[in-house]
Amino acid sequence: MNAPAASADVRRANLSLVLRHIEAHGPCARTEIAAATGLAHASVTAMVADLAERGLVRETGAGAPGGRGRPRRLLRVVHGRVWTVAVQVTHDMIRLRATDLSGATVHTEDTPHGAPFGDPGPVAREIGSTVARAVEQAGGAHLGLVVIAVPGAVINGKVGHAIGLGWRTTDLTALVAAQLPHVDCPIEVVNEANMAALAEYHALTAEGATHPDTVVYVTAHAGVGGCLLIGGRVHHGSHGMAGEVGHVPVSLDGPPCRCGSRGCLNTYLRLQALTRAAGIPEGTGGPAPAAARAELNRRLRAGDERARAALDTAGHALGAALLAVASVTDAGEAILGGHLADWAPWLMPGIDARLIGRRTAIEHVRFAVSTGVLGADATLAGVVHVGREQVLAMPAGVPMYTSMTMPTLPEAGA
Ligand SMILES: [Zn+2]
């Protein structure tokens, strides 16, 4: 790397450092920022001037007098300056949540997409429309990033295979960008289970939990999704598919799977497999899987033997898959997400029965099974977290104001 490029990188990193400090500790004075970050006072002053020109920070009153008796001017982040748009594509809905720099929700929209199986075009058009409506609401705020979570593996920025939607190798970023010719911000596509895993990991940490180095996350809806977290970060693997436990074989001659194999975890744990095993007729309470799920939930809580037996069998299958993953990765914790968290009381006996060998054969080996706390909102919470982190890491991506573009920003969330 040549010297000017390196120096520009250092400046960008310092700009982010100062912004993050004000966000975490503001209102605060320049002297406090210099002391906490180790940057020279003159450097902090220059960084603050830059952030102020981008509309990201502003002075807010004065604090107690500093060393020379002058009042210290305090700084705070202007949360409304940048919006991040998080989008989740499910098998039937597009869920959008726009947040400001504090992470507070400023705009939300849930739209059924009704898209035909196998065609990403209508979904991309619907995403474009919902994002365009969010942009209209943003007013003078800068749109920092659009992050779209999909139920499929993401390989080199493209959706490699979304079995539930019937998509193969889809450049969703390009399809959505084509719908938004006037929106000039990065658009990223990410895997939904990875986002949910990150969100649950941080939510459990906020509740006081500590995690081992390697954690596996499993969730189940129309299919089974998973993620491998190492050191609190998503481990993508060679093809972006690490932690995808749905097609781990748990029996050699089990039911046929949509992937062409037999006995995959997916064939025991996905919602339709559970409701079928519980004896709930297809279409119970309406056509949506949510109705069958609610019926299974009701039967479990009512003590229905067949429903509980279905969950026990699924628990054994999940335990076998977790044993395989733990054996290969030396994971020390599994987090169950989505409705697996709700149904953990009926899954745990089977899981524990499969893991007992690993837990007792080797002294010091711990394998904890935790339940997520965010339910159906985990994916969007994760996307919001990732989007905010990226904006805080790259404040130089927010344009400078000129006297012509200075808007009036709402004070809410500031
Ligand atoms: Zn399979």
Please give the distance of CA 136 from its chain centroid, rounded to a whole number. Answer: 25
Query: Percent of the chain having pLDDT more than 90?
Result: 64
Q: Taking 80 as the threshold, does the pLDDT of residue 236 lie above it? A: yes
Please tell me whether residue 21 adopts helix, strand or coil conformation.
helix
CA of 271 to the centre of ligand 1 (A): 15
Give the pLDDT confidence score for residue 279 in this predicted structure.
Answer: 92
Give the pLDDT confidence score for residue 356 in this predicted structure.
Answer: 87
Q: Taking 80 as the threshold, does the pLDDT of residue 64 lie above it? A: no
CA of 269 to the centre of ligand 1 (A): 11
Tens-digit pLDDT profile for residues 400-412: 876 555 555 555 4
| CATH 3.30.420.40 domain span(s) along the chain | 82-194+377-395, 208-372
Q: Taking 60 as the threshold, does the pLDDT of residue 390 lie above it? A: yes
CA of 321 to the centre of ligand 1 (A): 12
Tens-digit pLDDT profile for residues 133-181: 999 998 889 999 999 999 888 888 888 878 778 888 899 999 999 999 9
For ligand 1, an ion, list residues with CB under 5 A: 247, 257, 259, 261, 264
CA of 156 to the centre of ligand 1 (A): 23
User: Is residue 18 classed exposed, middle or buried when 0-12, 13-18 and 19+ CB atoms within 10 A define those classes?
Assistant: buried
Give the pLDDT confidence score for residue 161 in this predicted structure.
Answer: 78
**84-96 b/e with 16+ CB inside 10 Å = b?**
bbbbbbbbeebbb
Which segments within 70-211 are labelled E, that is strand? 71-77, 82-89, 93-99, 105-112, 142-150, 153-155, 158-162, 167-170, 187-191
Give the pLDDT confidence score for residue 413 in this predicted structure.
Answer: 43
Q: Nearest Cα to 86, choosing from 21, 177, 42, 147?
A: 147
CA of 325 to the centre of ligand 1 (A): 16
Q: Taking 90 as the threshold, does the pLDDT of residue 264 lie above it? A: yes
CA of 243 to the centre of ligand 1 (A): 14
Report d(CA 246, CA 318) in Å as an integer. 9
Q: CA dist 89 to 10, 27, 191, 392, Å?
A: 37, 38, 10, 25
CA of 245 to the centre of ligand 1 (A): 9
Least confident of 31-40, 55-64, 71-80: 55-64
CATH class (in words) of the domain with range 8-77: mainly alpha
Please give the distance of CA 160 from its chain centroid, rounded to a whole number. Answer: 18
Fold designation for 82-194+377-395: Nucleotidyltransferase; domain 5 (3.30.420)
Tokens of 368: 């904890």
Which segments within 311-395 are labelled E, that is strand? 333-336, 368-371
Report d(CA 276, CA 389) in Å as an integer. 41
| CATH 1.10.10.10 domain span(s) along the chain | 8-77
Give the pLDDT confidence score for residue 68 in this predicted structure.
Answer: 59
Give the pLDDT confidence score for residue 286 in this predicted structure.
Answer: 52
CA of 261 to the centre of ligand 1 (A): 5
Report d(CA 34, CA 14) in Å as an integer. 11
Q: How many CB atoms lie within 10 A of CB 411?
A: 9
CA of 162 to the centre of ligand 1 (A): 13
Least confident of 146-160, 265-279, 284-298, 334-348: 284-298
- Mean pLDDT of the region 361-366: 77
Q: Taking 70 as the threshold, does the pLDDT of residue 3 lie above it? A: no
Q: Taking 60 as the threshold, does the pLDDT of residue 242 lie above it? A: yes
CA of 208 to the centre of ligand 1 (A): 36
Q: Taking 90 as the threshold, does the pLDDT of residue 222 lie above it? A: no
Q: Are 412 and 39 in contact (CB under 8 A)?
A: no
CA of 255 to the centre of ligand 1 (A): 10
- Mean pLDDT of the region 341-368: 88
Q: What is the mean pLDDT of the chain?
A: 89
Give the pLDDT confidence score for residue 259 in this predicted structure.
Answer: 82
Give the pLDDT confidence score for residue 287 in this predicted structure.
Answer: 47
Give the pLDDT confidence score for residue 70 in this predicted structure.
Answer: 64
Q: Nearest Cα to 180, choosing from 87, 104, 54, 79?
A: 87
Strand 28-29's sheet: what is its strand order?
Answer: 28-29, 71-77, 57-65
Helices (H), 220-343: 266-269, 271-277, 289-301, 305-329, 339-342
The CATH superfamily assigned to 208-372 is ATPase, nucleotide binding domain (3.30.420.40)
Tens-digit pLDDT profile for residues 282-312: 765 554 577 888 999 999 999 999 999 999 9
Tokens of 66: 């500093």
